[in-house]
Copies of this chain bind each other. A is one copy, B any other.
Amino acid sequence: MENPTIHKSAIIYDGAHIGKNVSIGPFTIVHKNVVIRDNTTIGSHCELGISSADPTHDGPLIFADNTLIRSHSIFYAGSSFGPGLTTGHRVTVRERTVAGQNLQIGTMCDIQGHCNIGDFVRFHSNVHIGQKSKIADFVWIFPYVVLTNDPTPPSTLLKGVTIEKFAAIATMSVILPGVTVGEGALVGALSSVTRNVKANTLVTGTPAKEVGPTSAIKLKDGSDNSAYPWRRHFHRGYDQAIVRQWIEEFKTSTKNES
C-alpha cells in the first residue's frame, strides 16, 4: 500500500524505518540505514543516510519524533538526533554526530561529524562545526561562524573546540583549535578567538580580547535592563518547563542580590 504522504518520486530503500505520520517530499532519497520516528517531515531534494568514505563510521542514522528537515539537506549514516530536530535548507551533517533534543540547524550549516551537541542548541545560517567540537546545552551560534580544529593546518592532530552552556558566538567569528568558550560567554562579531574565554565574559576583536562581564551589556530597547544572561528575557522556542525554571532562577537571584 502506498503511503500518501511520501511523494511518489521519493526513493526509499528497503530497510529504512519510516514511522507514523511521516511525510517525505519529492526527489528525496532515504537509504536503508535510516530510522525516521513519528510525526516527522522531510522536505524535497534531500539525501539521508549516505555512507561515509570510511565504512567503520556507518551505522544507523536516527531521527527521533517531531523532526523537520527542510529541502536539499544531506545527512550521513552513523549519527543520531533527539526529538524536535529542525533544520533549514541545504544542511550537511556528517557521520558520528550525536545531538540532544530540539537542535536547530540553519540553512547551509555544515556539521563535519564526530561532534557532540547538547540539548536546545541553535545554529543560525551557514555555521561550520569542525570535527571533534563539543557544544553544550542552550548554546547559540550565529551566521558564518567557524569552529576549527587543526592548530597547524594541515596536520593529523585535531583539537576540537568546546562551547559551554548558554554561550553565544556572534556572526563571522572563528574559534581557534582547542579553545573553550565558557558558560554564558559572548564572542562579538568578526572575532578570532585564540584563547579560552571565561564564563559570562564578552570578548571581541582579532585576536579577541576581554572587554568585560556580559552583565554590563544593556538591552537596546531603551530600558536599563541587562541583555545577559539572555535566558532572563529571551524564551522563544523553549519548553515551558525550562522557561519557568529560568524565571524562577532570576526571581531568586534578584532576591539574593537585594
Residue numbers of A with Cβ under 8 A of B are 9, 11, 26-27, 29, 43-45, 47, 50, 71-72, 74, 88-90, 92, 107-108, 110, 112, 122, 125-126, 128, 140, 142-144, 146, 148, 151-157, 159, 168, 170-172, 174, 176-178, 186, 189-190, 192, 205-206, 217-221, 227-228, 230, 233-234, 236
Contact = CB atoms under 8 A, between A and B. Distances in A.
Contact of A221 (B107, B122, B157): B157
A1 to B, nearest CB: 22
Contacts of A9: 9, 11
Q: Give the oligomeric copy count.
A: 3
Contacts of A148: 142-143, 170-171, 189
26 contacts: A26-B27, A45-B72, A50-B71, A72-B72, A72-B90, A88-B92, A89-B92, A126-B126, A140-B153, A152-B227, A152-B228, A153-B170, A153-B230, A154-B230, A154-B234, A155-B219, A155-B227, A155-B233, A157-B219, A157-B220, A171-B174, A172-B174, A174-B189, A174-B190, A177-B220, A190-B190
A110 B90 CA distance: 11
Given A29-B26, A206-B190, A220 B159 contact: yes
